Chain A
Amino acid sequence: MKKKTAKPAEKAPAKKTPRKTAATPAAVDPTPVALQAYAGTVGIRDSIGIMSDQGQGVPARLQAIRTVQAASFGDPDFDALRGDYFAALRKLSDDPAVDVRQEALGILAREGDPFAEKALMAGLLDAKKALVPAGDALHYLSYNLHAGVQNLARSIFDSSQDQDSRQQALRLMSTDPASTKTILKTLSDKGETPAMRQLSAAALHALDPKAMQTFATKAVLDENEHSDVVTACLTAMNHFGDEKAITGNTALKQRIESLRQKSPAKIKQIAKKLGVKYGF
Chain B
Amino acid sequence: MNVTVPANGTSVPFFVRGITASTADPGVRITARWKRLPIGPLTTVGNVDLMVRIRKSAVNLNTGERNRLLSALAVLNNQGLGRFADFRDMHVAASNLEAHGRPGFLPWHRAYLLDLERELQAIDRSVALPYWRFDQPGPALFTPDFFGQGNNNNPVVLSPANPLLFWRTDGVTGIVRQPNFNVNSAPPGVLTQAQTLALGTAFAAFRTMEGNPHAQAHVSFSGFLQAISQAARDPLFFLLHCNVDRLWAAWQKANNRYDVAVPAAFDTPVPPNPPNRIGHNLGDTMWPWNGVVTPPRPAVAPGGPLAASACVAAPGNTPRVRNCFDYQGSLATANNLGFSYDDIPL
What separation, in Å, do the CA atoms of A35 and B212 have in the docked complex? 10
Contact mask for chain A residues 19-44; partner B; CB cutoff 8 A; 1 contact, 0 none: 10010001111101101111110000
Of A48-56, A225-233, A250-258, the stretch lying at the interface with chain B is A225-233
Instruction: Indicate if B342 sits at the interface (CB-CB under 8 A).
Output: no
Instruction: Indicate if A72 sits at the interface (CB-CB under 8 A).
Output: yes
- Identify A2's interface contact among B83, B210, B219, CB under 8 A: B83
Contact flag A235-B165 (CB < 8 Å), given A10-B290, A240-B78: yes
Instruction: Indicate if A198 sits at the interface (CB-CB under 8 A).
Output: yes
What separation, in Å, do the CA atoms of A205 and B291 have in the docked complex? 33
User: What is the minimal beta-carbon distance from B268 to any residue of chain A, in angstroms?
Assistant: 9
Instruction: Indicate if B204 sits at the interface (CB-CB under 8 A).
Output: yes
Which among B173, B267, B303 has the greatest number of chain A C-beta atoms within 10 A? B173
Contact mask for chain A residues 228-248; partner B; CB cutoff 8 A; 1 contact, 0 none: 110110111011100000000
CB–CB B292/A28 < 8 A: no
Residues in A with CB closer than 8 Å to B302 are: 4
What separation, in Å, do the CA atoms of A38 and B216 have in the docked complex? 8
Which among B79, B207, B305, B307 has the greatest number of chain A C-beta atoms within 10 A? B79
Instruction: Indicate if A87 sits at the interface (CB-CB under 8 A).
Output: no
| A-B CB contacts (within 8 Å), total count | 235
- Identify A73's interface contact among B228, B230, B283, CB under 8 A: B228
CB–CB B285/A38 < 8 A: no
What separation, in Å, do the CA atoms of A4 and B166 have in the docked complex? 25
Interface residues of B in 268-299 (CB under 8 A from A): 269, 271, 273-278, 281-285, 290-297
Residues in B with CB closer than 8 Å to A107 are: 226-227
What separation, in Å, do the CA atoms of A195 and B156 have in the docked complex? 11
Q: Classify chain B: how many residues form its interface, as a range.
A: 35 or more
CB–CB A167/B154 < 8 A: yes
- Identify B101's interface contact among A76, A112, A194, CB under 8 A: A76
What separation, in Å, do the CA atoms of A201 and B204 have in the docked complex? 49
CB–CB A70/B170 < 8 A: no
What separation, in Å, do the CA atoms of A62 and B221 have in the docked complex? 12
CB–CB A143/B230 < 8 A: yes
What separation, in Å, do the CA atoms of A135 and B271 have in the docked complex? 55
Contact mask for chain A residues 161-180; partner B; CB cutoff 8 A; 1 contact, 0 none: 00010011001101100000
Residues in B with CB closer than 8 Å to A201 are: 165-166
- Identify B296's interface contact among A22, A140, A231, A240, CB under 8 A: A22
Interface residues of B in 100-120 (CB under 8 A from A): 100-103, 105
What separation, in Å, do the CA atoms of A187 and B237 have in the docked complex? 30
- Identify A10's interface contact among B152, B274, B297, CB under 8 A: B297
A: which residues have CB within 8 A of B?
A: 1-11, 13-15, 17, 19, 22, 26-30, 32-33, 35-40, 62, 66, 69-76, 102-103, 106-107, 110-112, 135-136, 139-140, 142-143, 145, 164, 167-168, 171-172, 174-175, 194-195, 198-199, 201-203, 205-206, 209, 228-229, 231-232, 234-236, 238-240, 266, 269-270
Q: Knowing that A10-B292, A73-B215, A110-B226 are A-B contacts, what are 8 other residue pairs whose CB atoms are under 8 Å apart, sorted by A's residue number? A: A10-B278, A14-B283, A38-B210, A70-B212, A73-B218, A110-B227, A164-B154, A238-B163
Question: 22 A-B contacts, Cβ less than 8 Å apart?
Answer: A4-B86, A4-B300, A7-B291, A11-B285, A30-B269, A30-B273, A30-B275, A32-B103, A35-B208, A37-B191, A37-B212, A75-B211, A106-B153, A106-B226, A110-B230, A145-B172, A172-B172, A201-B165, A202-B167, A231-B159, A236-B166, A239-B166
